[in-house]
Structures are given as C-alpha cells and as structure tokens.
Amino acid sequence: MLDIKLIRENPVRINELLKRRNPELSIDKVIAIDEERRRVQTEADELRSLRKTESQKIGLMKKNGENTETVQAEVRELGDRIKSLEDKQIELDTKQRDLLLHIPNIPDETTPVGPSEDYNVEVYKKGEPAVFDFEFKAHWDICEEKNLVDFERGVKLSQSRFTLYRGKGARLERAIINFFLDEHTENEGYEEILPPFMANAATMTGTGQLPKFAEDMYKCVDEDLYLIPTAEVPVTNIYANEILSESDLPKYMTAYTPCFRREAGSAGKDTRGLIRVHQFNKVEMVKLTTPETSSEEHEKLTKDGERMLEMLGLPFRRVALCSSDIGFSANKCYDLEVWMPSYGTYKEISSCSNYGDYQARRANIRYRDKDGKVRFVHTINGSGLAVGRTFAAIVENFQQKDGSIIIPEVLRKYTGFDVL
C-alpha cells in the first residue's frame, strides 16, 4: 500500500510514476478523500475543544448557583455533531483504505518504462541453448512416453490443468525440491520454513493478492481461507503486525509449498504440459530488509535463483521487466527465463521482485532502528525455482538421440539414477 503521506507531499510525481504502469491509473480520488477527511478531522477537533471549554463553564456556573440547562443542551448538541463527524471520518478512512488497496506500487526509478512486455529489457544470457542433431520432442510427449507424468488421469482426478506425477517422474520432482531447499539453506543462509498451505483474507491482503486478484484464488467455502498461490503469502506475513529489531534484519527465509492458481484470465495460454497449471510445486525465497539494503539484497536474491540454474546446467537469461509488466505489488522485478526447445524461446521460471515498503504497510511489518524509530521493513521475494518448469526444462534440454534423458549431476544423489 502506498504511503498516504508520500501521496500528499508528491501527488504530481506519484501520478506520473503510476501512469508508467497504466495511463488510466491516478491517485486523484485518494487525494480528494484525504482532503475531505482532514477537513472533517479539523472540524471535529475544533468542536471537541469547544465542548471542553463549555463543559468547564458548566462547572463554574454550578458553583455560582447559575442555571446550566441551556449550556448543557449546547454541549449535548456538540457531542452529537462530533459523533456525526467521527462516523464520517470512519467512512472516509474506509473508502481511502479501499482505494489504496486497489492501487499498485509505484515503479522504481530504475525500472524500464514501457506500455507492454515488448519493452522488457534483456540484461544478459548464460549458457547456450541446446542444439539437437535429431528431431527433439516436447516435454509433454516425453513425459507421456516414459510414464513420468499422467496428464489424462490428473484431469480425471481433478480437472483440466492438474497433473499426476508417477514413478521416476515423481522422484525427479521431489529431488528438485530437495536440491533447491538444501542449497538455499546450507549454502545461501536461508531459514527453511514449512508454512500452512491455506491463508486467511488478512494474510492474502498483506501481500497484495486481495482484494485485487480474488478471482484468481481458490476460496474455501464457508471459511475465511484460501489455498495459497505462492509461499510468498504465508512466509512474508509471518511477522505481520509485529515490530522487529534492526539487529534481526535482514531475514532470509525459504519454503517449499504446492501453489494453487485459478488463473481466470489465462484461458488458451500454454495449455499443454507443465508450464501453466492450476497446482504446481515451488521453492520460494523471501527476504525482510531495511530500506537501505533492499536494492542490494534484491540483486543477491536474484543471483541465488540464477545459481540454481547454473548448477543444473540449464541455459537462461535475466530480463528486467518494464513498468507495465511488473507485478501489482512490486516496484522492480527481474524474470529469470529458462530455454525451452519446444517453444523455441525462453520461458519464465522465476520472478524476483522488490516491493519496497508496499507489502509491509499492508501487513504492518515494522522494525525499530538503532535510533529507536519505528519504520517499515522492505520485502523481497523470488522463486528459487518453480519446480514443474525446472522438471520440464531438464526433460527437454537434456534429451538424447536414443530417447534417454540425462539427469544433472547435482540431482543424482537425490534421484538415485543418472538417466531417465
């Protein structure tokens, strides 16, 4: 959520930055409500002061034996007017908060400006895309032929875009999860978290999924619970409504969870295979930092995600997303994209985002600095990595002419086999 004080002091600049995302975005309604709210508050404060003066007058009049009925009636009337103004202030506060919850974060000054994903900027590539001297196959065909993933029965058990891993396919999926968690915890300093896979509305609101993206969530009937779309949601909110010490920061946390997304607006996109499904596994990296270190920690987190791809030997690139393509709550985002032969291009496998204090304001995550001042933390997160997409990339990039799949060396102690 944007800082109302920042909006008051810099309305023109905030509007300019929001329009880098979308020309239709504006904080003008927020400003109008804020001005009315402050006017109501000023009027209420003046009436409270007047009521106090009149109440003191009643005491003196009683002491002098004077009739106080008229003044008491005036004080009661002042009380009614104050109550009405207080109710109006609550109404305006609610409207203002609702508006702010629907307004995205402002892009960082270093975020490329552009009206569509065509303006995303490739930062660099690492590794050479696979070149085959035979007719290569897409991962969905390989998975069916080798009985690694049973797409048809996954749909039978649930609905479209749900998958069933089996045999060596299930073991490879589990191996990837364990590899990511071990690397992040043992070699990169993250604390492993195993959070609930359901979250309440307050938790979903804290990271920005609600109220804006309610239609993309799986909601539990008759309960204030949603299936989580990413471990970012529960892990970021662990310290909601708490005040940390500066000495506690930065906090590095990583978690494996299944992720559930209805993706109501994605009909017709990547309908085959493992790239876009309604339930998938992911290992997430989350950081809570001070404002002064968030930019540096964002770069480090992105490098941590890249390191997984490098260790697996998968070709990838880093892309800086432009202002119209960054996530709702982010001010800056790098996508890590892995080479997928079946698509003839790179596909996103991790989004590494810096949110500044946007999520922290929504979730009320604060810290006390060395001077005793209470400030909002900055939050950062990224996939480390999306497991199903890693599975698909391994199957496609490491397929051999004889039909076998070479397992990356770093995974073999987890799988117990070298080839599929």
Average pLDDT over residues 230-248: 98
Who's near 123: CB < 8 A, 6+ residues apart? 317, 318, 319, 320, 334
pTM over 0.85: yes
Please give the share of the chain, as a percent, with pLDDT higher than 70.
98
- Tokens in use for 313? 């030997």
Cα 397 vs. chain centroid, distance in angstroms? Answer: 30
- The pLDDT confidence band at residue 56, using thresholds 50, 70 and 90, is confident
Average pLDDT over residues 316-343: 98
- Helix, strand or coil, per DSSP, at residue 17: helix
Please give the share of the chain, as a percent, with pLDDT higher than 90.
92
Rounded to whole angstroms, the Cα distance separating 18 from 103 reads 9
Q: 307 and 289 in contact (C-beta within 8 Å)? A: no
pLDDT of residue 204: 98
pLDDT of residue 268: 58
The sign of the dihedral angle between the CA atoms of 281, 221, 100, 366 is: negative
- Cα separations in angstroms, 314 against 187, 200, 302, 336, 358: 20, 37, 16, 11, 33
**Position 195 pLDDT exceeds 60:** yes
**Position 190 pLDDT exceeds 90:** yes
**Position 231 pLDDT exceeds 90:** yes
Averaged pLDDT of the chain: 96
**Position 267 pLDDT exceeds 60:** no
**Position 263 pLDDT exceeds 80:** no
- The pLDDT confidence band at residue 390, using thresholds 50, 70 and 90, is very high
pLDDT of residue 269: 59
Rounded to whole angstroms, the Cα distance separating 34 from 7 reads 10
Tens of pLDDT, residues 395-411: 999 999 999 999 999 99
Tens of pLDDT, residues 102-154: 999 999 999 999 999 999 999 999 999 989 999 999 999 999 999 999 999 99
pLDDT of residue 70: 87
- Tokens in use for 90? 């609550």
81 HSE (CA, 13 A, CB side): 17
Exposure b/e, 118-153, CB count within 10 A at least 16 = b: eebeeeeeebeebeeeeebbbbbebbbebebbbbee
Tens of pLDDT, residues 344-355: 999 999 999 999
Average pLDDT over residues 21-32: 96
Who's near 317: CB < 8 A, 6+ residues apart? 122, 123, 124, 125, 126, 336, 337, 346
pLDDT of residue 264: 63
Rounded to whole angstroms, the Cα distance separating 294 from 354 reads 7
Tens of pLDDT, residues 278-322: 999 999 999 999 999 999 999 999 999 999 999 999 999 999 999
**Position 266 pLDDT exceeds 70:** no
